[in-house]
Amino acid sequence: MLLLITVVGWGISWPFLKIALTEIPPWTFRGLIAPAAAILVFGIGALLKYDLGRPTGQWREISLAALLNITFWHIFSAFGIKLLGGGQASIIAYTMPLWAVLFSTWLIGETLTLARMAGLGVGMAGLAVLVSGEVGILASSPLGALFMLTAACAWGAGTTLQKKVKWKISPVSLVGWQLLIGGLPITITAFFIDAGSWEPVSTAAVFSTIFVLVYPIILCWFAWFTIVDQVPVAVSTVSILAVPALGVGSSVLVLGEAIGWREIASLLLICTAIVLVLKPNKSAKTYSD
């Protein structure tokens, strides 16, 4: 049930992100979301009596993780979603495991197996299908594709960094501190960049912002950490394959976005790639530097 709650929450969030970012400037939207989420995470964590200690001696590591996972991800994904369709943005975003594999090979020294090499190739093919051609994303919104790809790479690097560091704080505290450290620069920047352009927004944009804050960010993160503690890593990570599929489907239903052969082919290729890169290594033959 927790896995279902998480996958559905992350999957259906994309059209609501699109609705909110159509009216609310990206800096303002993310500047509201991240610090508010940090306050709620710490508040709920305290209520449930989680360990909410400070990252003493690890401020540099958690600041870098926050820069990648929160600051870069939130800003670049916000601008990417604003320029792309919700379904297209979700497909590019969930190339993250592919980049995490590359970063883990470089930063952690994990071996690059034949299956992972094949996965990277299939994933690149899926991305190429989505962005190429006269009607591909590179023709219609090259900047949006670049923003979303940068966000996915930052998330992959941040995920690798979190795996590399032996944290001395609880997972809930780790999320709360990252949201706070990574979100405050966005909030401060929003005051300087967007203060003169703030205008009233529709009820739909307000609802979408509250929905994204409460369900995909707060509830799903708490559910996700519980899942990670209770099931094997392979189960929890492969389950995210359903997220871009739901992102495409919900964008069609909520926003009326068109879905063509490019989106379908790209989605299938990228999901196949993620299965390959997350496949447990049962062979002794590996490829590494």
Q: How far apart are the first and last CA of the chain?
A: 41
> How large is the angle between the packed helices 73-83 and 2-23, nearest 10 degrees?
70
pLDDT (0 to 100) of residue 226 = 65
pLDDT tens-digit series, residues 75-129? 999 999 998 888 888 888 878 777 877 888 877 777 777 877 787 788 778 777 7
Tell me what the pLDDT averaged over the chain comes to.
Answer: 82
pLDDT tens-digit series, residues 233-273? 445 555 666 777 788 888 888 888 777 777 788 778 877 87
Beta bridge partners of 112: 287
Cβ burial of 210 (10 Å; 0-12, 13-18, 19+) is middle
Whether the pLDDT of residue 172 is over 70: the answer is: yes
Torsion of CA 79, 83, 86, 90, to 10 degrees: -60
Mean pLDDT of 16-43: 92
Rounded to whole angstroms, how far apart are CA atoms 115 and 135? 31
Closest CA to 156 of 261, 231, 263, 76: 76
pLDDT tens-digit series, residues 196-230? 788 899 999 999 999 999 998 888 877 766 665 56
pLDDT tens-digit series, residues 39-64? 998 998 888 888 888 998 999 999 99
Q: Which CA distances in Å does 40 have to 172, 174, 203, 280?
A: 11, 14, 22, 36
Rounded to whole angstroms, how far apart are CA atoms 78 and 26? 5
Beta strands in the chain (DSSP E): 112-113, 286-287
